[in-house]
Structure 1
Amino acid sequence: MQRKRLYFFISVLVLWSGAVRAAMGLAEIPAAGGDGPVTVFYPSDAPSQPTARARFTLDVAKQGTPVRGNGRLVVVSHGSGGAPWVHADLARSLVDAGFIVAMPEHKADNYKDDGNPGPDSWTLRPAEVSRAIDAVGRDPRFAPLLQLDKVGMYGMSAGGHTALSLAGGRWSPAGFMRHCEANLVDDFQSCVGLITRLTGGPFDGLRKWGALFVIRHRFADATWRTHTDPRIAAIVAGVPSAADFEMASLASPRVPLGLITAQQDHWLIPRFHSDRVLAACLPRCELIADMPSGGHGALLSPPPPGLTGLIGDMLNDPPDFDRAGVLPEVNRRTTAFFGAHLLPLLPFPPPATSAP
């Protein structure tokens, strides 16, 4: 109860000290140096209007003039095959509190190109987050409005794996291989992704043999993967992929770490992933929210429309989960977590003004 009261108080202060409910601007920093583009959501004084992006319509001020918010950046790492648009409601919560939000497009593991997900992408992602911070810091629209000594980072699913890496966790492709050798049937989709599924039929044996053959061929490297960015000062991992981490490396996260879990996640089974992280890091980390009836896609908002097949099984809601009713509170808690760890309570940031 005391923690809930504290977070409510912080939420009020964060919103009060932010960008006076400015519109949410939308801009893109072009791809450079082999990285993908960086999508940026930010407080703007321009009027918003419905804007189509892929299968989504967002109420944003496209290319609107940025205004000063609270001076802090939060980087969002999307899930495997993901896009910026499915985190637009979280971005709006953060922008309403004065944050600028940057979303890098992860190489070969995004909605335009999903050709190389899994450990190969996980190896690249943390440095892509660091370069996204660099890109925002060089951009003349946003650089004057930000201090980059304390940056927040949020990741969901494969992005949650990125978040745990940046929190001090270490992992290896061989750790992924060992997990799949030991738990292939119970955590099958985590090991094979969207390639196939077990049906209980006569070809399951072939599917399991093929999966292990590929995994053992590609992911035997036992070299530890680590990445540190001293600018990142608070991290949230939502339904993270985590079975390949050395849990001892997450026992004392290097920065404040919050987790969001979904107990009906049948894609990244909690007992192999998020629950193991919590068991390792509590009380030095924090459970921001647990969704007892939420599935793997519960944090995506707005949700992708019309999903069927395996991807529908992964991202659509269980029958008794109310995404529209639950997610606003989860986003508020996430925003309050970043406010608590990135913003001083006093003095408050200056009022919203146009960028010089």
Structure 2
Amino acid sequence: MGIVERASETVRIPLTVFYPTAQAEQPVKKGPFDFSLAVNAQPDSGPHPLVLISHGSGGSPWVHVDLARTLVENGFVVVMPEHHQDNYKDFSDPGPSTWKLRPAEVSQAIDLIAQDPLLGPVTSTEKVGVYGGSAGGHTALSLAGGQWSPARFRDHCEAHIAEDFSSCVGFITRLNGGWLDGLKKLTAKVVIRWRFGDATPYRHEDRRIRAVIAAVPFAADFDLSTLVKPKIPLGLILAGQDINQIPRFHGQAVQHTCETCTTIADMPQAGHGMMLSPLPPLGSTDSIAYQLLSDPPGFDRSQLPALHQKVADFFKSHLLTP
């Protein structure tokens, strides 16, 4: 599998691209991970269909390499844009402020690949797929025609701050049953009311995007009536033990509303971290990242290669047809 990274002062959105190549792979270290990749290799002749992966809050391309490899083995070029101020290098503004930007960043990434001297000539950008997990799942729902607003985020957190606390505050803190829980909930509500009063409905359309998958998405701020019949094929991946985005407020709410969606996987033993493969180091067992992203007891990661193939099959069925 080939890899190139595109970043410069003139490119606002850095890109990591994986693609089919006949060149030999070499050991490559990226952050805490060791991979086998062909860096800056000559791509196989195309055209190859294109899938973009929209990472979760604070995410990186390296936690999606296993999925990328499966997609590449099925003939796809895979592009991962680094979302502005909501990535592993810069986690300064996660949440609704950057969710407004993400769908347009996906479109800009398609433009950049189409113009890329190495990959543009071998990549088809006429029928594109998008996969997103968590905040990336929010991006995918937006691209499917879903309409959301920061005010809906505020209203959800006003009503369900205790049940869905981590969705409203992220990785800052957790409720633990202690005497500070009341203060945490009150503070969160005050900040959310102050920051997210915008009732403007947000959506994004790009006619090149023909199919999307939302994995364990943040979805509580969507007007679900806009997702009854999405504009393009929408696949869902759900995790029954997700405590970061409580399923009944998010993925299950979309699943129960949508009349045309495909449930690619509904994994009752999985947690929010099932979308990450390889799973990153999460720190000690008392860290917030460990508590929200580690695999619940009973979840078997050996299921993930089959899931990744289902993702590839979904995109093949919708992007490779005439």
Same fold (TM over 0.5): yes
The Cα RMSD (Å) is: 1.1
Tell me the equivalent position of 2:297. 319
- Segments of 5+ residues of structure 2 without an aligned counterpart are none
Tell me the equivalent position of 1:11. none
Say which SS state the counterpart of residue 151 (structure 1) adopts: strand
Alignment of 1:95-244 (within 5 A): 95-244=72-221
- 1:18-60 deviations in Å (ceiling 9; x for gaps): xxxxxx0010122455623100000112100120001111111
Letter in 2 for 1:235: V
Between stretches 116-125 and 307-316, larger displacement belongs to: 307-316
Letter in 2 for 1:113: D
Tell me the equivalent position of 1:285. 261
Q: Assess if the C-alpha contact under 8 Å between 1:29 and 1:135 holds in 2.
A: no
Q: Assess if the C-alpha contact under 8 Å between 2:20 and 2:75 holds in 1.
A: yes
The TM-score normalised by the length of structure 1 is 0.88
Q: Assess if the C-alpha contact under 8 Å between 1:69 and 1:98 holds in 2.
A: no
Provide the C-alpha distance between the structure 1 equivalents of 2:57 and 2:110, rounded to a whole number of angstroms.
Answer: 20
Q: Assess if the C-alpha contact under 8 Å between 2:102 and 2:139 holds in 1.
A: yes
- 1:219-255 deviations in Å (ceiling 9; x for gaps): 0110011110000001011000000000000111111
- 1:179–1:153 CA distance, 2 compared to 1 (3 A): same
Letter in 2 for 1:296: H
Aligned length: 320
Provide the C-alpha distance between the structure 1 equivalents of 2:318 and 2:135, rounded to a whole number of angstroms.
Answer: 24
Q: Assess if the C-alpha contact under 8 Å between 1:31 and 1:38 holds in 2.
A: no
Whether 2:253 is the aligned partner of 1:276: answer yes
- 1:32–1:147 CA distance, 2 compared to 1 (3 A): farther
Tell me the equivalent position of 1:294. 270
Say which SS state the counterpart of residue 231 (structure 2) adopts: coil
Say which SS state the counterpart of residue 277 (structure 2) adopts: coil
Between stretches 286-295 and 306-315, larger displacement belongs to: 306-315
Say which SS state the counterpart of residue 296 (structure 2) adopts: coil
| 1:305 CA drift (Å) | 2.3
- 1:60-109 deviations in Å (ceiling 9; x for gaps): 10111111255211010000000001000100000001100000000110
Q: Which has the higher strand share?
A: 2
Provide the C-alpha distance between the structure 2 equivalents of 1:234 and 1:124, rounded to a whole number of angstroms.
Answer: 20
Tell me the equivalent position of 1:6. none
Q: Assess if the C-alpha contact under 8 Å between 1:176 and 1:219 holds in 2.
A: yes
Provide the C-alpha distance between the structure 2 equivalents of 1:222 and 1:38, rounded to a whole number of angstroms.
Answer: 31
Give the 4+ runs in structure 1 shifted more than 3 A: 31-34
| 1:307 CA drift (Å) | 3.0
Tell me the equivalent position of 1:36. 13
The TM-score normalised by the length of structure 2 is 0.97
Provide the C-alpha distance between the structure 1 equivalents of 2:108 and 2:8, rounded to a whole number of angstroms.
Answer: 11
Provide the C-alpha distance between the structure 2 equivalents of 1:301 and 1:75, rounded to a whole number of angstroms.
Answer: 16
Q: Assess if the C-alpha contact under 8 Å between 1:29 and 1:39 holds in 2.
A: yes
Provide the C-alpha distance between the structure 1 equivalents of 2:190 and 2:235, rounded to a whole number of angstroms.
Answer: 36
Say which SS state the counterpart of residue 37 (structure 1) adopts: strand
Whether 2:30 is the aligned partner of 1:50: answer no
Whether 2:314 is the aligned partner of 1:337: answer yes
Q: Assess if the C-alpha contact under 8 Å between 2:47 and 2:121 holds in 1.
A: no
- 1:129-161 deviations in Å (ceiling 9; x for gaps): 000000111101111112211001000000000
Letter in 1 for 2:23: A
Q: Percent identical across equivalent pairs?
A: 53
Structure 2 counterpart of 1:73, from 50, 56, 59: 50
Provide the C-alpha distance between the structure 1 equivalents of 2:161 and 2:40, rounded to a whole number of angstroms.
Answer: 46
Say which SS state the counterpart of residue 202 (structure 2) adopts: coil
Tell me the equivalent position of 1:266. 243
| 1:306 CA drift (Å) | 4.3
Tell me the equivalent position of 2:230. 253
Letter in 2 for 1:154: Y
Name which structure has the greater RCO, CA cutoff 8 Å, separation 6+.
1
- Segments of 5+ residues of structure 1 without an aligned counterpart are 1-23, 346-356
Provide the C-alpha distance between the structure 1 equivalents of 2:10 and 2:183, rounded to a whole number of angstroms.
Answer: 41
Between stretches 57-66 and 100-109, larger displacement belongs to: 57-66
Letter in 2 for 1:150: K
Q: Assess if the C-alpha contact under 8 Å between 1:90 and 1:301 holds in 2.
A: yes
Q: Assess if the C-alpha contact under 8 Å between 2:47 and 2:124 holds in 1.
A: no
Q: Assess if the C-alpha contact under 8 Å between 1:155 and 1:162 holds in 2.
A: yes
Provide the C-alpha distance between the structure 2 equivalents of 1:107 and 1:331, rounded to a whole number of angstroms.
Answer: 26
Tell me the equivalent position of 1:21. none
Provide the C-alpha distance between the structure 1 equivalents of 2:290 and 2:175, rounded to a whole number of angstroms.
Answer: 16
